C-alpha cells in the first residue's frame, strides 16, 4: 500500500470516529440541554438525567437515582487532568458550604480516561479533599453521559432532571451560580 493511500484511509477513519463521537454525544445529551445556561424549569422535565451506576470507595454499587430528593452535582474527573485539578478546590469549598442542600457525586474516570484508583486516592489524600468520590470502573457513566473530555460537570435538580452542564474547568463563581439553581 502506498503512502497516499495509507493517509487517505487514516483520514477517513479519523473522520468516522469524530462524526460517530458527535452523534453519540448528541444522542445521549439531547438537543434540549443548553451548553452553558440553566434550562427554564418549565422545560426541565424533558431532560431526565440517565440513571447510571458506579461504585463507592468500598466497592458498593451506587445508582444516580439513589440521590433523588436533592440536587446533584455530578462531576467527571481524573487525577492526571490539569483542569480537573484546578477546579477541585472549588468543589471542596462548595461541598463544605452546600452539602446539606446538594449531593456531590464526584466520579473518577478510573477506566475510560486511564486513571487508577490508587492515583485518584493519592491525589485526594494529598489535597485533603473530603467530598464523596465514586468510580466509573466499567466506563458506563462516561458512555451514557457522552463524556468525551474532562472535567465535565452535570447539574441535576431534585427530581432528576438535567438543568445544565459544563465541559472544562469550572470557576468558583460559576459553580456556585449553578449550584443555586438546583439547591433546595
d(CA 149, CA 165): 13
At 14 the pLDDT is 59
Give residue 171's pLDDT.
96
Confidence of residue 89 (pLDDT cuts 50, 70, 90): very high
Evaluate if residue 153 carries a pLDDT over 70: yes
Which residue, 167, 160, 92, 90, is CA-closest to 128?
A: 92
Q: Examine residue 16 and state whether it is found in any structural domain, yes or no.
A: no
In a domain, 4, yes or no: no
**Residue 157 phi, psi (nearest 5):** -80, 175
Indicate the length of the chain as a whole number: 184
Mean pLDDT across the chain = 83
Who wins on pLDDT, 128 or 37?
Answer: 128
95 assigned to some structural domain: yes
CATH code, 88 = 3.40.30.10
Q: What angle do CA 12, 14, 16 make, to 5 degrees?
A: 70
- 49 in any annotated domain: yes
**Closest by alpha carbon to 53, among 43, 42, 64, 45?**
64
- 144 in a structural domain: yes
- Residue 6 inside a domain? The answer is no
Q: How many structural domains does the chain have?
A: 1
Q: Which domain holds residue 100?
A: 32-182
Q: Cα–Cα distance between 44 and 171 in angstroms, integer?
A: 24
Most confident of 36-45, 59-68, 110-119: 59-68
Instruction: Indicate the pLDDT class of residue 72, thresholds 50, 70 and 90.
Output: very high
Q: How far is CA 75 from CA 4, 6, 59, in A?
A: 43, 39, 19
The three cell numbers of residue 21 are 463521537
DSSP 3-state percent helix, strand, coil across the chain (nearest 5): 45, 20, 35
- pTM attached to this predicted model: 0.74
Cβ atoms 155, 182 nearer than 8 A: yes
Calculate the dihedral angle through the C-alpha atoms of 162, 167, 173, 177, rounding to the nearest 10 degrees: -10
- pLDDT average, residue stretch 36-55: 64
Amino acid at each position: 500500500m502506498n503512502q497516499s493511500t495509507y493517509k487517505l484511509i487514516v483520514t477517513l477513519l479519523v473522520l468516522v470516529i469524530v462524526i460517530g463521537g458527535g452523534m453519540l454525544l448528541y444522542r445521549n445529551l439531547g438537543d434540549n440541554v443548553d451548553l452553558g445556561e440553566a434550562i427554564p424549569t418549565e422545560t426541565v422535565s424533558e431532560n431526565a438525567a440517565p440513571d447510571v451506576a458506579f461504585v463507592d470507595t468500598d466497592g458498593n454499587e451506587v445508582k444516580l437515582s439513589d440521590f433523588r430528593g436533592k440536587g446533584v452535582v455530578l462531576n467527571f474527573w481524573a487525577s492526571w487532568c490539569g483542569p480537573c485539578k484546578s477546579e477541585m478546590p472549588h468543589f471542596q469549598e462548595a461541598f463544605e458550604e452546600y452539602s446539606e442542600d446538594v449531593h456531590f457525586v464526584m466520579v473518577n474516570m478510573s477506566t475510560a480516561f486511564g486513571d487508577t484508583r490508587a492515583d485518584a486516592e493519592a491525589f485526594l489524600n494529598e489535597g485533603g479533599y473530603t467530598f464523596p468520590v465514586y468510580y466509573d470502573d466499567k466506563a458506563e457513566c462516561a458512555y451514557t453521559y457522552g463524556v468525551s473530555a474532562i472535567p465535565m460537570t452535570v447539574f441535576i435538580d431534585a427530581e432528576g432532571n438535567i438543568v445544565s452542564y459544563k465541559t472544562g474547568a469550572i470557576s468558583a463563581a460559576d459553580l456556585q451560580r449553578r449550584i443555586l439553581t438546583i439547591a433546595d
